[in-house]
């Protein structure tokens, strides 16, 4: 069977031991079959009570620690994990399944393949609920939004991103959605403009908070939002649409 990148992954199913290198995927496994999750990154913060071995970060996983956990499968993501680390894990004889997700529809398709084809499990009910929650066509509100993901230098969500698709599916317009880059560098003045109706400040990857971010804006209204609602493609999608829609 092939992962989302078309790479053949040989693994006995059903998978009994999983190491996740992506916070979204960690939450998805923990919500579905927590006893199967044996390892996760230091950035995997949900569920809050998660108690598994930590294998360092998404960009610098500890290969020796992963091997010591003897996983049947390691799950990763094309954007969040390095191709080099995936290749090295595979060279160590460890099966790795890589997801590729840049839209909500890709998220639902990819997650179904993960649970069915890769893990050999039943598709979880939360995935059906999430897909249903986003199945209603968006009502165009005309709301013009910007989504910074970093400051000093300022970076924003541009084109061809999962977060950008979430914004579009809410009926909003990403003012940087026509950029040639997925995460362009911009000046603060490009974001803090009178024609921007709302600036969404998520708490990841940069940790925007009450004392770090809002003070920079004098023209555009801002809203602090959970990064999970904008960037994660696991169980958080069940409620993300309702939570974000309240901001409009």
**CATH number reported for the structural domain that contains residue 224 in this entry:** 3.40.50.1980
Do 165 and 239 belong to one domain? Answer: yes
pTM of the model: 0.93
Per-residue pLDDT of the chain (248 residues; tens, 9 = 90+): 899 999 999 999 999 999 999 999 999 999 999 999 999 999 999 999 999 999 999 999 999 999 999 999 999 999 999 999 999 999 999 999 999 999 999 999 999 999 999 999 999 999 999 999 999 888 888 899 999 999 999 999 999 999 999 999 999 999 999 999 999 999 999 999 999 999 999 999 999 999 999 999 999 999 999 999 999 999 999 999 999 999 98
Domain for residue 8, yes or no?
no
Do 102 and 27 belong to one domain? Answer: yes
CA distance 8 to 154: 39
Domain for residue 201, yes or no?
yes
Domain for residue 93, yes or no?
yes
Contact between 40 and 20 (Cβ < 8 Å)? yes
Give the pLDDT score at 142.
87
Neighbour tally for 60: CB within 10 Å: 12
Domain for residue 181, yes or no?
yes
Give the pLDDT score at 138.
84
Domain hosting 233: range is 144-245
What is the total count of domains within the chain?
2
Give the pLDDT score at 248.
80
Domain for residue 134, yes or no?
no
Domain for residue 196, yes or no?
yes
For the chain, where are the E strands, in sequence order? 18-20, 37-40, 53-54, 73-77, 96-99, 144-146, 148-150, 154-156, 173-174, 185-186, 198-202, 222-225
Do 96 and 158 belong to one domain? Answer: no
Give the pLDDT score at 111.
97
């Amino acid at each position: 069977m092939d992962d989302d990148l078309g790479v053949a992954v040989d693994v006995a199913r059903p998978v009994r031991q999983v190491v996740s290198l992506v916070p979204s995927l960690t939450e998805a496994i923990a919500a579905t079959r927590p006893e199967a999750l044996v390892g996760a990154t230091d950035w995997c913060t949900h569920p809050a009570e998660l108690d598994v071995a930590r294998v360092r970060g998404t960009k610098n996983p500890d290969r020796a620690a992963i091997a010591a956990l003897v996983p049947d499968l390691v799950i990763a993501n094309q954007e969040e994990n390095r191709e080099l680390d995936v290749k090295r894990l595979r060279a160590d004889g460890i099966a790795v399944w890589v997801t590729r997700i840049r839209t909500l529809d890709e998220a639902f398709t990819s997650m179904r393949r993960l649970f069915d084809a890769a893990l050999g499990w039943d598709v979880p009910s939360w995935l059906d609920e999430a897909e249903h929650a986003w199945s209603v066509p968006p009502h165009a509100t005309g709301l013009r939004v910007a989504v910074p993901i970093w400051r000093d230098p300022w970076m924003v969500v541009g084109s061809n991103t999962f977060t950008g698709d979430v914004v579009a599916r809410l009926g909003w317009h990403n003012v940087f959605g026509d950029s040639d880059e997925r995460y362009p560098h911009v000046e603060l003045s490009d974001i803090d403009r009178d024609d921007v109706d709302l600036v969404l400040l998520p708490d990841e990857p940069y940790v925007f908070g009450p004392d770090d971010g809002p003070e920079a804006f004098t023209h555009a209204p801002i809203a602090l939002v959970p990064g999970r609602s904008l960037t994660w493609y696991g169980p958080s999608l069940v409620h993300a649409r309702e939570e974000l829609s309240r901001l409009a």
